[in-house]
Amino acid sequence: MHALKVSCSNCSLRELCLPVGLNRDEMAQLDAVIRQSRRLKRGEYLFRSGEGFRSLYAVRTGYFKTCVSSQDGREQVTGFHMSGELMGLDGISSNLHGCDAIALEDSEVCELPFSRMETLGRDIPSLQHHFFRLMSREIVRDQSVMLLLGNMKAEERLAAFLLNLSQRLSARGFAANDFILRMSREEIGSFLGLKLETVSRTLSKFQQQGWLVVDHKHIQLVKPEELKQLVAGCSQAQH
Amino acid sequence: MHALKVSCSNCSLRELCLPVGLNRDEMAQLDAVIRQSRRLKRGEYLFRSGEGFRSLYAVRTGYFKTCVSSQDGREQVTGFHMSGELMGLDGISSNLHGCDAIALEDSEVCELPFSRMETLGRDIPSLQHHFFRLMSREIVRDQSVMLLLGNMKAEERLAAFLLNLSQRLSARGFAANDFILRMSREEIGSFLGLKLETVSRTLSKFQQQGWLVVDHKHIQLVKPEELKQLVAGCSQAQH
DNA sequence: TTCTTGCTTTGACGCGTATCAAGCAAGCCC
DNA sequence: GGGCTTGCTTGATACGCGTCAAAGCAAGAA
């Protein structure tokens, strides 16, 4: 735990640092590679699709969306990213970033130069393993989004989205049932494969049923169990 | 090229072996780790969601689908896999397989024990890098599926699917415009987020327009340019 | 052959979500 | 304050795809 303070002093990467179990020396090596954090204003691009890929980025504070665009301008939000989460993994395959990453509020990220991380992974097996796990986790996440987009109805999608947010926020020490949406209705809709009007209507419906209270971007989950029941059947089976 | 023959004699892994650029000695090390191939009959499971994860599998011959299931039994096909493609990457994160892999015809796979591949990667940097690239490519693929499921109409989805198949087949030396579908209409529908009737109707519509000829599972693309034009706008922008 | 069985095609109909449009609230600038 | 912009909500309507049902077709079994 002490090593943690030393190494991650400039970077609150729960997800990235904690589970690896590095010793102090390894931590110092890692620390030498992680660049000073970079600050972004709301709306600013961290990277754009097609740009050269050099680094992964871990959210330190703030909030990001990543999205891909089609040629005729349709935009698909592929994810929302909060503190401790990693962005840019899709750039490794072609050495070009495969999506846009945009700050949804003033934010701060740690830059992890990939080739140096790769080299370091050879010396620190647990770090290498951790990177494989992070990439695999991203694949698992994407699969569950496919299940959502391919099989669920609007109400199920939105309920799953809200519960996922709630769970991630509470894992970071925030209230699970009282939070601020950092993104617009349109961005939620893009992520869920719905139009913004449908998102709005579905939120209103949940409110009418007394399951939650909506006040603009402020959401209070009053009966999260009801939402859970709604997604229980259509969420991925556990084994 | 000679080294290739030596090392990949038991495993036709274009994708997996070719681009790495290993020398003969490294190839021999890799060869020692890759297990004898395993044969599966049509319909057989290679692995199931929830089973312990030990190995990745590369398709040597044949055809697979991978899918996740929800608790109430809805099934989402997450991908179809042909020779040279890798399955099981989603198992790394939790040491449990995250999806089912099922042979769509009599098939043969190479087993790659993951922990040994990981160890080998430390000694052979280009192998390590290649694995990162493979995982990243899977993430990129998943993102384009999200774009498809989130934004495209039935006709666009099916056209994109057919063109993707066509491209992968021709990359393996098969005819680009004359092929056999290895999967049922229902499986196509599950992958594309459509019902089987919609898949069938859309194929019929394409046929009526003279864009292709459907004879059960036998597809001939007569005017692939028309299909390409259909997906041109909605496919991912290139940079 | 005839009877299965599984997969596919096609039609009729209905539901869910998109689309179009209007109105409202909050924030910002002059 | 007025006027503007931006984002959200809500209603009316349209349409794409799902649902249900029936029938066709191929492959295999009895």
* Sequential pLDDT tens for chain B (239 residues): 333 333 344 454 544 554 567 788 888 888 888 877 899 999 999 999 999 999 999 999 999 999 999 998 889 999 999 999 999 999 999 999 999 999 999 999 999 999 999 999 999 999 999 999 999 999 999 999 999 999 999 999 999 999 999 999 999 999 999 999 999 999 999 999 999 999 999 999 999 999 999 999 999 999 999 999 999 989 998 87
Written as six digits, the tokens of A131 are: 């990177």
Q: Do A122 and A39 fall into the same domain? A: yes
Provide the phi-psi class of B193: left if phi over 0, else alpha when psi is between -120 and 50, else beta.
Answer: left
Please tell me the predicted confidence (pLDDT) of residue B13: 52
Burial (CB < 10 A; 0-12, 13-18, 19+), residue A102, is: buried
Are B37 and B106 in contact by the 8 Å Cβ rule? The answer is no
Q: Give me the helix-helix angle, B185-192 and B154-171, nearest 10°.
A: 110
Q: Give me the helix-helix angle, B154-171 and B196-208, nearest 10°.
A: 80
Report the alpha-carbon distance of residue A218 to residue B56 in Å, rounded: 44
Report the alpha-carbon distance of residue A189 to residue A157 in Å, rounded: 10
Calculate mean pLDDT across residues A223-235. 95
SS3 B143: helix
**Inside any domain, residue A18:** yes
Calculate mean pLDDT across residues A179-207. 98
Please tell me the predicted confidence (pLDDT) of residue B14: 47
Q: Estimate in Å the CA A212 to C1' C14 gap, whole number.
A: 30
**Inside any domain, residue A145:** no
Q: Do B50 and B118 fall into the same domain? A: yes
Report the alpha-carbon distance of residue A46 to residue A63 in Å, rounded: 11
A33: Cα within 13 Å, side-chain hemisphere:
20
Q: Quick check: B139 and A93 CB within 8 A?
A: yes
Interface test with chain B among A130, A132, A190, A234, by most B beta carbons within 10 Å:
A132
**Inside any domain, residue B239:** no
Q: Quick check: A132 and B137 CB within 8 A?
A: no
**Inside any domain, residue A144:** no
Please tell me the predicted confidence (pLDDT) of residue B28: 85
**Inside any domain, residue A88:** yes
Q: Quick check: B90 and A139 CB within 8 A?
A: yes
pLDDT > 90 in chain A, percent: 81
Of A18-22, A48-52, A106-110, B100-104, minimum mean pLDDT range: A18-22
Q: Measure A146 CA to nearest chain B CA, in Å.
A: 6
Q: Do A174 and A120 fall into the same domain? A: no
Per CB-CB distance under 8 Å, the chain B contacts of A122 are 121-122, 125, 128
Q: Work out how many CB contacts closer than 8 A connect A with B.
A: 189
What pairs with residue B234 in β-bridges? none
Measured CA to CA in angstroms, residue B19 lies from A75, A232, B12, B23, B130 at distances of: 33, 44, 13, 12, 8
DSSP conformation letters of B149-175: HHH--HHHHHHHHHHHHHHHHHHTTS-
**Inside any domain, residue B71:** yes
Burial (CB < 10 A; 0-12, 13-18, 19+), residue B178, is: middle
CA angle B37, B43, B48 (to 5 degrees): 75
Q: Do A13 and A126 fall into the same domain? A: yes
> In CATH, what number is assigned to the domain containing residue B214?
1.10.10.10
How many domains are contained in chain B?
2
Q: Do A108 and A220 fall into the same domain? A: no
Q: Do A67 and A130 fall into the same domain? A: yes
Calculate mean pLDDT across residues A65-94. 95
**Inside any domain, residue A239:** no
Q: Estimate in Å the CA B49 to C1' D22 gap, whole number.
A: 37
**Inside any domain, residue A214:** yes
Q: Do B33 and B121 fall into the same domain? A: yes
Q: Which of A137, A161, A180 is the last residue of a domain?
A: A137
For residue A184, say whether its CB is under 7 Å from any atom of strand D.
Answer: yes
Report the alpha-carbon distance of residue B133 to residue B131 in Å, rounded: 5
Mean confidence (pLDDT) of chain A:
91
Q: Do B117 and B184 fall into the same domain? A: no
Q: Which of A106, A137, A168 is the last residue of a domain?
A: A137
Q: Which of residues 192-231 of B touch strand C (CB under 7 A)?
A: 196-197, 199-201, 203-204, 214, 216-217
Q: How confident is the model at residue A229 (pLDDT cuts 50, 70, 90)?
A: very high
Please tell me the predicted confidence (pLDDT) of residue B20: 65
Q: Estimate in Å the CA A150 to C1' D20 gap, whole number.
A: 21
Q: Quick check: A151 and B74 CB within 8 A?
A: yes
Q: Do B156 and B122 fall into the same domain? A: no
Please tell me the predicted confidence (pLDDT) of residue B19: 54
**What is the rounded end-to-end Cα distance, in angstroms, of chain B?**
33
Q: Do A77 and A130 fall into the same domain? A: yes
SS3 B219: strand
Per CB-CB distance under 8 Å, the chain B contacts of A193 are 149-151
Nearest residue of chain A to residue B124 (CA atoms): A122
Indicate if the pLDDT at residue A15 is higher than 60: no
DSSP conformation letters of chain A: -HHHHHHGGG---HHHHGGG---HHHHHHHHHHSEEEEEE-TT-EEE-TTSBP-EEEEEEES-EEEEEEBTTS-EEEEEEE-TT-EE-GGGTTTTB--SEEEESSSEEEEEEEHHHHHHHHHH-HHHHHHHHHHHHHHHHHHHHHHHHHHH--HHHHHHHHHHHHHHHHHHTTS-SSEEE--S-HHHHHHHHT--HHHHHHHHHHHHHTTSEEEETTEEEES-HHHHHHHHHTTSBPP-
Whats the size of chain A, residue-wise? Answer: 239
Are A59 and A43 in contact by the 8 Å Cβ rule? The answer is no
Residue numbers of the domain that contains A118: 2-137
Distance of CA A164 to the CA centre of its chain: 10
Per CB-CB distance under 8 Å, the chain B contacts of A51 are 239
Q: Which of A108, A137, A166 is the last residue of a domain?
A: A137
Q: How confident is the model at residue A19 (pLDDT cuts 50, 70, 90)?
A: low
Q: Do B96 and B50 fall into the same domain? A: yes
Q: Do B118 and B170 fall into the same domain? A: no
Distance of CA A111 to the CA centre of its chain: 16
SS3 B218: strand
> In CATH, what number is assigned to the domain containing residue A28?
2.60.120.10
Burial (CB < 10 A; 0-12, 13-18, 19+), residue A106, is: middle
